[in-house]
Each structure stands twice: as structure tokens, then as C-alpha cells.
Chain A
Amino acid sequence: MTFFSENGFAFRCLRPRPGIEWLRYAGGFSGMWLAMVVLAGLIMESNLPAADAVFFRGFNLNGTALEIDGRLWEGNGTSNLSFKGGTFENQAVLLKPPTDPARASMIRSSIWGGNADLTLNHIPEGSYQVFLYVWEDNHSEKIDLLVNDRPVLEGFHSGNAGMWKKLGPWKCESHNGKIKVSARSGAANLSGVEIWSGTGPVPQASSPEFSSNPSPDQVAFFESKIRPLFIENCYSCHSAKAEKIKGGLLLDSRKGLVKGGDTGPSITPGDPEASLLIEAVRHKSEDMAMPPKKKLPPEQIAALEEWVRMGAPDPRTDDTVAVVTAKNAIDWNQARQWWSIKPLALPERPAVKQAKWPVNELDYFILDRLEKAGIRPAPDAEKRKLLRRATYDLTGLPPTPSEVEAFLSDKSRKAFARVVDRLLASPRYGERWGRYWLDVARYADTAGDNSDFPIPQMHRYRDWVISAFNRDMPYDEFLKAQLAGDLLPASNEQDRHEKIIATGYIAAARRFGSRVDDYPQHLTIEDTIDNFGRAFLGLTINCARCHDHKFDPITTQDYYALYGIFNSTRYPWAGIELEKKQRDLVPLGKPGEIAVFEQEKSDAQKGLDAEVKRIEKELKAVEAVEGEAKKDLEKNLTNAKEAAHKNAVRQPPYDMAYAVSEGSKRQDAQVQHKGDPSKPGPEVRRRFLTVLGGTELPAEDHSSGRLRLVDWILDRNNPLPARVMVNRIWLHHFGRGLVATPNDFGKQGKPPTHPELLDWLASRFIREGWSVKKMHRLIMLSHTYRLSGEKSSEMSLHDPNNELLGAFPRRRLDAEAIRDSLLFLGGSLDETPGGAHPFPAQEEWKFTQHNPFKAVYESNKRSIYLMTQRIQRHPYLAIFDGADPSVSTAFRSASTTPLQALYLLNDSLVHEQARGLAVRLLKEKKEDSRLQLAYSLVFSRPADRDEIVQGRSFLNALRAGFQESGVTDDKIEMDVWQAFARVLFRLNEFVYLD
């Protein structure tokens, strides 16, 4: 009996040896002594010198017998091999890397299949090591390989067309004279098998050496035939002086030649057939034809071949590789001088001339710049305008007439502060500012795969965000919970559930495609890294997926260091075309509750699955015979399958969260060359970005690393989170951030208009416990916030874009505010919080890319609660610049299109709310009171005389017109006031806030 340790090292268990048998016969010895003997036996065993491995047999699968590496391999017809699988051959495919003709021929003929078995027969008892050649002629497959039914390699990617690999060695024994090699899962192409007897190391084929001491003849050959060829045809792309070095290959030095390029070593000395450089100049492959525009003349190609055969003698001694590496290396000290990465400054507030103007610290920074530009700040805004501005700002709704009255009558100095407090305490605040965060986090209620599966549980994350803003959760906690909530300590069960729900932030990453086996997880992780980089750090880390960032100090190594963390995290499965149900969601029940339900469900599932199998078996038995019996069985099978599926999607009595959890395999990731997962490179230790310290995950930490990630982000020396968040808050108060590119604080973004102010605010933000509401108060109670929109002539001259905020910028309401206001004014707004969407039950999910999920759910709730999909846009939101849920939206655009006008002209919602408003107006008895009420409700101000006169003319003209066309008296008033309401809804004053 033989057993295997984890790393495949076989050791024999004890066979009774004469010595021990004698001891047993002798009987009655102490166990201790017996154990010592046993131990000695073991030690003796393992100390036996391992026999050097000896080549035993080679098989060219689906090919002829041939000689490889000087050894004879068996081919078709041998009784030493039997197999199960298809046969395939294509000698036209170019191999990567190239190799000698015999091996190439062996590789390109293969036995293939998703269930292929190779049985190597007539193998004497003993220990062996097996190598398996596999190749790919088409698209990469994911393959599991087994030896003697034991998995030896799982999830192997066969690569792109032309790629091949010699896998192994795998140690095994022969069983009954056979060794079995199997391939499962993807369609594998098995080209050849090498069997070596013995357990010792298999001698490596000696790798050919580059000629190190070229003879004078060889040097002459190089100088006359090769160097000039390189200079003329290759250096423009493959030398240190190239504008852009292509393929990572330098041909201008021996070091560069030996090192090779991105696709591997360029030369196998002595063997032109196995040299990429030779293959390239032969122009055999479209992907790698060098020089690209023209093929070298035959005599030059022959010269290169001869030179390689010689061992590629090369007298050059300069080290251009080092030169290039140094040139491309990032100067980290310099990189850390970039404005957004430099530590937070603690600026003194500047001195200003108009000492009475500033109301709080913030104002000094603003006034200082205005004075330097020679701009007088605008006068203060009129109270009504200020109230309207603040109410929309914090709640996304207009103030009511009584709120206006209260503010106007409050003559105290604290009047506006009271308003701000009132608004911050309203639950409508979280619905307004939570939406800005959902924009950044690209929130959607569906998964974004080809069938756009709904996520019924996603709303919990949305509701958590709203609640977090409403209770002023400190921003550092907000960040922590979203990245690592499941790993944080919780104060009670409810807190624990909320923290789990918060990780819906990561779970919300986009899903792609339709497949399960080949699911492109690397894309979902890219989406995760892209969003978290922009949202929390203002850095476009995702750019480094394929190459070092072209502008910012972020390397591909950095990207894959973070990749490892998210790859060690288990994402929930939303359902996809080829597996239409959810799994891996996180249960929010009590531990006992969860165990009971899962056990019960799994037991039930076993029974139902068994029933399905039983009926399938019965059906197979009567396969040939048509008739009643068969039809009945088929019906039963359908029912049984439905029942099994129904149980599989059965929802527990507790809630489930669409959240992440720790992955079962937590480990570092490998770099993916050019972002291609089928081209893995070296492993990168999980760590933070180099430019921000690069702290590594400690060796003894076996978690995914998310908890550490949060620590690294919130490290006191990392100025980015505070700068980025404070800028977002400023942006939504004023319409533009101090940094105009809130998701990009790198070189391609814009620098801050007020760098000292930004840092002063960021420092303050941290000092005040990362409280967002405190920052709101600071900003809104400043003098700067209170200005009217009157632009002075100096402003038009010196600051036409109003970057210095000498006046308050006029802005258009966003899509949510417009719709919410219409519903509010029409009296239809349902202010109860959102909750779940009426998605169809999981057991009915049959979505595919042919029939993707598509729905628009009508609702009178606030727009933040509208169901939003990834691949279909909500019709209203699409027209009014709603956030695109596929990307992080830092701020909305405000386009002006005729389609918006058409909506306001003819959409049913607008007409219904106009009706609702008319009903309210008609409660007043007099025409003038109705007009005044209309202006008060819609614009928070009284109508002036001209507006009354014009309004009256309009109403009268309409009345006359309706009378003429025969509308009855009792309907006329409703009709004319609806028309008037529609007029108001279309005005610029309705959607543009001063």
C-alpha cells in the first residue's frame, strides 16, 4: 500500500520485514521498543539513495513512432497503450515556443476530449514518474488532469492556439501493470507521454549554451553579417534608443539577446528550429512576422540561422538591458511628490483685506483668491433662494410654503443654521446624498451579465448606504464596512448583519458573459479594482492590468498585488445563462437557524436528485420502446426535475445578503501578462500600492487580506481618502469639485483650484471624526455658500468659469430631483422607504442572452428606489442623464436635448402630476390665491404683478377656447389649471436652481 503526501512524494508504508516479524514472533515486547524499530525502519527507508530516474517509454499519441531527444517513442498500433477519446491532428499550426521537428510532430497529433483516458499497459510493478505533453490548437480550455484517478493538476489553462507544455513529473505506481492518465472538464489535447522509472530526479535535457568565447572567425561572422542586419532592420524597435521598445526585446546587446522578450527567449542556441527569432524572420506566423513590413531576403535569413547554429556568438559587452530598466524604473521619491500623494498640509488661514466678510475659516481661503483676482464677491442670496438651494441640496426636494414662512419669520442669526440642522435630520437627506455614493459605486439591481440577472437582495446594500448617511456614520467606518465588514468586530447580531450587507459594495462588481466553467472572474476583479481605486483613492489602478500605468506611479505588480486580495474573496453568484440560480450568498440568520435550514434543504435535495436519477435510469431502460409508459416516465422526469430545481432555489426563513466572504483558497496571485489570464507570470505578494508604502500582507496572515487593505488605505500617512471624500462633498454643494476630476487625482486629472483649502478641509474632516454632516455644516454655514448667483463684470473678465466661487453657480436639478419634485408637487410622492423590488421568483428564472431580464417597475417612491438595470436603462433616467450603472459616476452631466422637452410635453407622469397640482390649487377659492399658491409651491416665492396678469390672460384665453369647443363648465377649471401647471413644470426656473 502506498500513500502520498501533499506534494506527491510517495513513501511506502511498512511491508513486514524479516526483522520485525521475528520480533513479533518473539512476542510481548514493549510497544515503545516496537515503535522505535518501526521508526528506524522508516528512517532507513527514506535514507535509501533514490535511484536516478531512467527513461522507460515514450508515446506519440495518435502519431507514428519516432525519435525524440535521442530516444525511441512508440506510436499508433502499440499494445502498450489503449485510450478513450477522439483523435486529432493538425501539423499546420505553429507552435509556441517553437521546437525541433520530431517533438513538434509529436505535439501536433493528439488524443482529445473532455473525458479522455490513456491507459499505459504492460508496466512492471514499481514507482514511476510521468510527463504529459499537452497542446492547444484553438481556444484555451480549462483542464483537470489525473494520474491513476488521482488529481495531479486542476484548472490548467491550455493557452492560445499553438501553445504547448510538458507537464509533470507526476509520481505514481503501476497498478496491475497499468498506469492511467486522464483528462477531465475542458476538451484537452494530449500529445505525448513520457514514463520514467525510479523516484529520483529526472535528468534535464542539457540546455544549450550561448557561445561565451567566440572565435575570431565567429566574431567576424557576427560583425559582417549579423550586427549590420540588426542595426538596419531591428534597432528602430528593439534597441535602447528605440522610441518605444516593442515586445520587451532588446537586440542591441548580448544581455538583451539572451534575456529575450515578453513572449520568451528569442534564441535557443544551436537550434534555429526552436528559436523564436528565426521563426519570426521566416514570416510563418501572422502574429510574429519580423520585420513587420517586409521579409528579409533569403540570404539574410540563412545567415541568422547559421549564426544561431553556431551558438549565437556575440562580442558585445554593453548592458543595454540595465540601461533600459533604469530608464523605465519609477523614481518613487519623485513620484511621492505628486500633489495628491504628498502629506496633508496644515495651512494657516490666509490674511484678507475685507476682514468682516468671512464667517468661518473656509471663507478666508475663498476670499483670499477672489481678492487676488480683483473680484468682489456677489451680494448675499435672498432668503427664499437660499432656502430653496439648501433644501434641494440636502434633500432633493423643494421647500414647502410653511417651511419658507418659518425661515422668513425667523430673524435670529441662527435661522439658517436651524434650517441646515432640520434638513440634516430628515430621512430625505440620506436618500439624496446616498444616491451620490451609489453613483460612485455604480449601483444596479442586476448583475450585468449577458442575461442581466436580477439581484433581489441588492436593495439591502442600497438601504444600508442611505441609513449610513442618515446616521452620519463616520466615513472611515463607512469605507471599512464596505471593504471588510464581514471581518470586522460587531457589537450585536444586527450590527453584524449590517456589516455583512455593507460588503455588497464589492459584490456589486459587474458580472460578464454566460458561462460558468469559463467564467471570466478576472474581469469581475478588474471591475472591483477599477471602482475601489477611483471611489476611495481617486486613482485609476485598473489601467495597470495590462501594463504599467502610462502616467501615474502604479505598476502592473501593484495591480496584481491587489488582485490577489480580491481573488481570495468569495463573490456571490447571481445566476447566469448556464446556471440560472444564485449561490454563495451570505445568510443573515442565527448560526443555529442557518445550520438547521441548510441541513434540511440539503437532505431534501439529495432525495429529489436521487429521484431524478432513478427516473432517468428507468427511462433509459425503455428507451427504444415508444408508448404510454415512456410518455408517463418523461412526464414524471420533468416533474421530478422541477421539484429538484424548486428545492434548490428555496429561500430560507432568514434573509440572505448579496455580500462577499472569505474565499476557500486564499493566496497570492500571478501577474497576467498583458492582462491575459492564460499567460501567467510570476507571483506577487499581496500588498498595498508601492507609491503609498507597499506594505505587505504578513506571512502569518492567511486571510484574504481585506482587513489589512482597509488599514493600509486608512493609514495616517495616506492623504488620499480624506482629500477624495472632502472633494466629493464640496462638489455636490457647489456643482464642481475643488478637483474637477473627482475620480482621478492622478496626472490625467486636474489639480485642485484651491490646494490649501482642500488640505485644510481634509485635515478638518479627519479631526472631526470623519463626520460628513459636520462637513456639511461647515460648508453650508460659510459666507461662500450664501452668495447669490449674480456674476460681476470682473468675474466675466477674470474668472468666466467661476472657479473662484465669487458667486453661487446656477445648476440644473438632476434626474432624481426633477422626478421627485414632480411627484411631490402633484401630491403623489410616496415617502416610505424603498425595500425590495417585485422581481419574479427565482424558480421562474429562465433568462438567457436571447431572453434577458427586462423590466420597468412603476413606483411613486423617490427615484433612488427605482429598479435600475445594468444592460437596459430606465427610460426616464436615460433621458435626464441618470448615472450609467456600468461605470463609476463622479458627477452627472446636464445635457439639454429635445427628448427631454418631449418628455415634459407629453409624458403621462408629467400630465398626472399637473393634474395633482391642479387639484391642490383648486382648493383655493380665488383665482389670484390659486396663482400665488402655484408660485409658492413650485418656486417658493410669490408671483409678481406681471406674472399674475399674464397668468390671468392665459387662463381666460384657455377658458374661452374650451368653451368654444364645447367643454362643460365643471371640467373647464380643471383643464385650464392643469394646463397652467404644465406650463410651470416646463419653465427653466423649475429645473435651474439659482
Chain B
Amino acid sequence: MKPPLIRRRDAIQSLMGGSILLPGLLAELLAGDAPADPLSPKPGHFPGKAKRVIFIFSNGGVSHMDTFDFKPKLFAADGKTTGVGGGLSNQQRVLLKPGWEFKPGGKCGALVSDLFPHIRECMDDICLVRSMKSDDNEHYNATLGIHTGSFFFSRPGIGAWVSYGLGTVNQNLPSFIVLAPQMPYAGLQIFNNDFLPAYHQGVRVIPGREPIANLERRTKENKVQEMELGLAGAFNRRHLESRAGDAELAARMKTFETAFHMQTEAREVFDLSKETDETLELYGMKRGQSDGFGWQCLIGRRMAERGVRFVELVDGSSSHNWDQHGDMAEHAKHAKNIDQPISGLLRDLKQRGMLDETLVVWTTEFGRTPGVDGTKGRGHHSACFSSWMAGGGVKGGLTYGGTDELGATVAENKVHVHDFHATILHLLGLDHTRLTYRHGGRDYRLTDVHGNVVKALLT
């Protein structure tokens, strides 16, 4: 057999010429007239303490009086007194005693139930809000509301707004990533970019061989793909030359470079082999494990480390979650699932010095009724519920706001979903009234025409 006329190595080199796609000409174009890369990092409206968010969402409606809101009067329920109950919080029912004891946590002594013993030890870093309020009692609508600020209409999710407001520091990873093994209520609507540009949509990661769609190189040989990209680059450059300075064409060429790198870099995020045993233990994980909420939290930390602006961790799904109408005892297994992993995440971030700049948020779509649903369950309750934040400039060790003696309504310092959103944006250095997008003749924002920053929560 005759040796090949052109040596393979030389051929590749001539096609690729150093960087795969980006010789001087292109670099100039991108530096000059190019439309600003929409994902390049942008300053906020003012310096914010938080640089990124890890948003933990527990599906189904976590009962506040069984977790973070100690209600002695409920513990003393006599089996006769009624309060608001029923499936959708619209009937008078006998009060149900909480199923777990409360104990103080940390130096601040905040009372947390036995459902979250690990998180309880982190209360000095946590800013607990007991006076959350939502506007809708249905899973879908409330989930949509806590993510997009709208309880009925399609709007961009909070992750998309943050990506839009601040861009990302790592161009090789999406700026908004959602770790959701299963889908929550309202489906993709809550991670959607909606009318914001497409770069800001949440990219869903599902544990497994291909956590991000199309991430796995389909051509068996790496080199083949590289050569393909090399030839494409050469042809694209010629195409560009005769279409003087079309920055859009140049920008598209760059996305192939990014995609190429994503194949390795994004994979690298999921490679846990370099994490120490101690770290894995913090999250309650075994070596080699690639699923479970501990995995989600650890990957979340790794993404935050690598500059992803907004990571959402979805706990549960639309069909398997905290929605205990039948038997409150089942809260236990859902809590066990996330308690240690979340505390591990907080500790890990703190150890690495990341907690000050990473805002960790834990929330749910609504609380549950003080009165019973069925015989042993609780119904949906949007009039009040609990959420917390940690890091990123919030006051740790603070318990803010309160509910009435039954946990049925907000008694003081109400924090509506819109106020919660306004505060999160503020921590990131964004003024929620100025982070707007003109669409259909109107300036939209995450908080619509509502919301006030809750200054008491800020350091």
C-alpha cells in the first residue's frame, strides 16, 4: 500500500492553524464592532455581595409548622378546636399536631424540628423567613409564581432574569443550569427565558451518561470532530471575508468553539473523582455515586465554583414530593433525602470561602394547613409558609417575620413572593425595578409592579 500523499498530522495542522477557529481576523471583528456577547459578565446596578445563586426548590408544599415554624398551640391541639384545613385550605377542620419536636440550633438558638437535624446545626448561617406569602393554592400556579413572579402567565424564570442581568463568568457553561432529575409542576415554563433572549434559558441537567443534551461527542474519534470543525472554520472564514464585517456570522462561529470546549469542560463538572472522601461524606455520598440529592448539591457547588450564575436544584417532582394530604409522616423521608446534603453544601461552601459570595436559597411553593386534611394529612396553604436564605450577604442567625398562633396567617413582617424576589435581586446588586425588558410595548420585570426589598434581611 502506498503511503498517503499528505501526512495526516500536517493536514490537520494546516486546517486548524493553532486555535481551531479563531485567527486574527475574527478576533478583531469580535473585539470591534461585534455585538456584545450577551452572556459576557455585566455589572449590576450597584455592587452586590452575592455573585451567584444556588436555588433549592422543594416541590409539593413543605409544612412550615412541622419544620421551621414552632407553634406551641398546635402541639396543644385538643382534637376539637378547628382551624383552616382541608385540601385547599378552605374548610374548617380539627387542628393537627405537628409530628416532630423542635429544638434550638446554633448559637442563635433558632427552633427547627427534628425533620432537619443537620440543617438545624447551620442556623447561624441561615436567615429564616417565617412570614412568606403566596397568592395561589394550586401546585402549578404557586410553583410558577415562586419562579416567575406570575401565577398564571408565562414569564421568564428568576434564573433567566439573573442571567440577563449579570451574564456569566464562564463562557463554556450555560449561565443558568437546572439540576432536575424529574420535572416539577409547570414543567419547563419555570426555567424558561420566555421573552428574554434564548441564551438565558435554564439548561436542564439529568444525571446519567449525557447530563446535558447533545453533550456527548457522537463521532467516535475526537480527531475526526476536530478536523470537521477545522474545515468548517476555514470555509466559514472565506464566507465571512466576502460579507464584510457581519458580526453575527462571526459570533456564530464562536459558538462552535464554545460548544467544542463544553464537551470537555461541561463533562469535567460531573467528574467527581478528584473530590476528597471527606467532601463526599459531607454530602452523605458514596464514592462513585452519580445520583441522589447529595449528588445534586455537590454538582451545584462545582458549577458555582466554575462561574455558573444561577443553579437550581429541584427536590422531588410533580408526582413525588412533599404534598402530604394523606399522612404527614411521609414528610420524614423527603426531609431525610435533603437534610444532610443541604447542610453539606452550606459547610462545603463555607470551608472553601465561597459562602459569602454565594446566595443559597431554600423555598417551596406554599405551606400546609394547621387543620387536618383527611385524618392525618395537611392541605395546601398559601397564606403563610417558611423559606430561608444563607450566604451572599444575608444576615445569618436571624429569624424574620412570624405567623399567628396557629400558623394560619402572617402576623408580622409579611414577605410576599414578590418581596422575596426583590430581595434576592438586591443581594446580587440588581434593582428589581430597573431590571426590565421591553416586550409587547411594556417594560416587564420579575416583580411585575410589586415587591419591596426586605432590608432587615441584609447585612
User: How many angstroms between the C-alpha atoms of A991 and B255 in the bound complex?
Assistant: 14
List residues of chain A with CB within 8 A of the CB of B258. Answer: 898, 901
Give the complex CA separation of A422 and B251 in angstroms: 36
Q: How far is the CA of A791 from the CA of B152 in the complex (A)?
A: 46
* Nearest A residue to B252, CB-CB: A896
Q: Find chain A residues with CB under 8 A from B137 CB.
A: 139
A80, CB-defined interface residue at 8 Å: no
Closest to B217 in A: A906
Chain A 775-800 residues near chain B, CB threshold 8 A? 789, 791
Q: At the interface, yes or no: A2 with Cβ under 8 Å from chain B?
A: no
Q: A748-B441, A965-B221 are in contact. Are A983 and B231 (CB under 8 A)?
A: yes
Q: Is B262 interfacial (CB 8 A cutoff)? A: yes
Interface size class of A (residues with CB under 8 A): 35 or more
**Are A748 and B214 interface neighbours, CB within 8 A?**
no
- Contact: A979 with B216, CB < 8 Å? no
Q: How far is the CB of B126 from chain A (nearest CB, A)?
A: 27
Cα–Cα distance between A879 and B260 once the two chains are bound (Å): 17
Q: Which of A58-66, A430-438, A712-720, A739-747 contacts B (4 or more CB under 8 A)?
A: A739-747
Q: Is B442 in contact with chain A by the CB < 8 A criterion? A: yes
Residues of A within 8 A of B441 (CB): 540, 543, 551, 741, 744, 746, 748-749
Residues of B within 8 A of A958 (CB): 224, 227
Any B CB within 8 A of the CB of A947: yes
CB <8 Å contact, B92 and A957: no
CB pair A540 B440 closer than 8 Å:
yes
B92 to chain A, nearest CB (A): 6
Contact residues of A between 946 and 971, Cβ < 8 Å to B: 946-947, 950-951, 953-954, 956-961, 963-965
A residues 435-458 touching B (CB-CB < 8 Å): 450, 452
Q: Contact: A851 with B186, CB < 8 Å? A: no
**Complex Cα gap A665–B192 (Å):** 39
Query: Whose C-beta in chain B lies nearest to the C-beta of A793?
Result: B244
Does B113 make an interface contact (CB < 8 A)?
no
Complex CA–CA separation, A520 to B225 (angstroms): 53
Closest residue to B12 on the A side, CB-wise?
Answer: A957
The answer to whether A884 has its CB under 8 Å from any CB of chain B is yes
B5 touches A956 (CB 8 A): yes
Which chain B residues in 241-257 approach chain A with CB under 8 Å?
A: 243-244, 246, 248-249, 251-253, 255-256
Say whether A988 contacts B140, CB under 8 Å.
no
Contact pick for B318, options A741, A852, A903, CB 8 Å: A852
User: Is the beta-carbon distance between B152 and A979 smaller than 8 angstroms?
Assistant: no
Q: Is the CB of B227 within 8 A of A902?
A: no
- Interface stretch of the complex, out of A227-235, A326-334, A398-406, A868-876: A868-876
Query: With the chains together, A749 CA to B439 CA distance in Å?
Result: 10
Taken together as a complex, chains A and B put the C-alpha atoms of A391 and B262 apart, in Å, by 36
Contact of B232 with A983 in the complex, beta carbons under 8 Å:
yes
- In the assembled complex, the CB of B86 is this many whole angstroms from the nearest CB of chain A, namely 9
Least CB distance from B414 to A in Å reads: 8
A905 at the interface (CB under 8 A from B): yes
CB distance from B269 to the nearest CB of A (A): 15
Contact of A964 among B8, B185, B227 (CB under 8 A): B8
Tell whether, in the assembled complex, residue A895 and residue B197 are in contact, meaning their CB atoms are under 8 Å apart.
Answer: yes
List residues of chain B with CB within 8 A of the CB of A897: 198-199, 255
Q: A744-B440, A895-B199 are in contact. Are A953 and B15 (CB under 8 A)?
A: yes
Closest approach, in angstroms, between the C-beta of A311 and any C-beta of chain B?
37
Residue of A743, A789, A961 with highest tally of chain B CB at under 10 A: A961
B188 with A872: CB separation less than 8 A:
yes
Return B424 CB to nearest CB of chain A, in Å.
23
A887 within 8 A of B: yes
Contact between B255 and A900 (Cβ–Cβ < 8 Å)? Answer: yes
Interface residues of B in 1-40 (CB under 8 A from A): 4-8, 11-12, 14-15
B8→A957 contact, CB < 8 A = yes
Q: Which residues does chain A contribute within 8 Å of B218, judged by CB atoms?
A: 905-908, 911
- B174: A residues at CB distance < 8 A: 898-899
Nearest residue (CB) in B for A741 is: B441
Q: What residues on A are CB-neighbors of B198 within 8 Å?
A: 879, 881, 893, 895, 897
**Cα-based distance from A123 to B89 in the complex (angstroms):** 38
Report A85 CB to chain B, min CB distance, Å: 11
A988 touches B318 (CB 8 A): no
Cα distance, A422 to B41, chains bound together (Å)? 50
Flag whether A275 is at the interface (Cβ < 8 A). Answer: no
Is residue A340 within 8 Å, beta carbon to beta carbon, of the partner chain? no
| Minimum CB distance partner of A975 in chain B | B224
- Are B187 and A872 closer than 8 Å at their CB atoms? yes
Which residue on B lies nearest to A905, using beta carbons?
B259
When distances are taken between beta carbons in the complex, the residues of chain A under 8 Å from B217 are 905-906
Contact B239 A871 (CB under 8 A): no
Contact between chains at B235 and A987 (CB < 8 Å): yes
Contact A950:B221 (CB < 8 A) given known A187-B91, A873-B188, A988-B253? no
State whether the Cβ of B213 lies closer than 8 Å to any Cβ in chain A. Answer: yes
Contact B318 A961 (CB under 8 A): no
Residues of B within 8 A of A902 (CB): 212-215, 259, 262-263
Most chain A C-beta atoms within 10 Å of own C-beta, residue among B215, B235, B243? B235
Q: Are B231 and A950 in contact (CB under 8 A)?
A: yes
Say if the beta carbon of A490 comes within 8 Å of chain B: no
| Interface contact A988-B236, CB-CB below 8 Å | yes
A992 to B249, CA, bound (A): 8
Q: In the complex, A331→B142 CA distance in Å?
A: 42
Closest Cβ–Cβ distance, residue A879 to chain B (whole Å): 8
25 contacts between A and B (CB under 8 A): A88-B92, A450-B140, A513-B141, A810-B243, A873-B188, A875-B213, A879-B198, A893-B197, A896-B251, A896-B252, A897-B255, A898-B174, A898-B258, A899-B174, A901-B259, A901-B260, A902-B214, A905-B217, A906-B216, A947-B235, A953-B15, A954-B227, A957-B8, A961-B221, A983-B235
Query: 7 closest Cβ contacts across the A-B interface?
Result: A748-B441, A957-B11, A901-B259, A450-B140, A895-B198, A960-B4, A886-B154
4 further A-B pairs in the complex, CB-CB below 8 A; given A871-B187, A896-B252: A88-B92, A520-B152, A956-B6, A957-B12
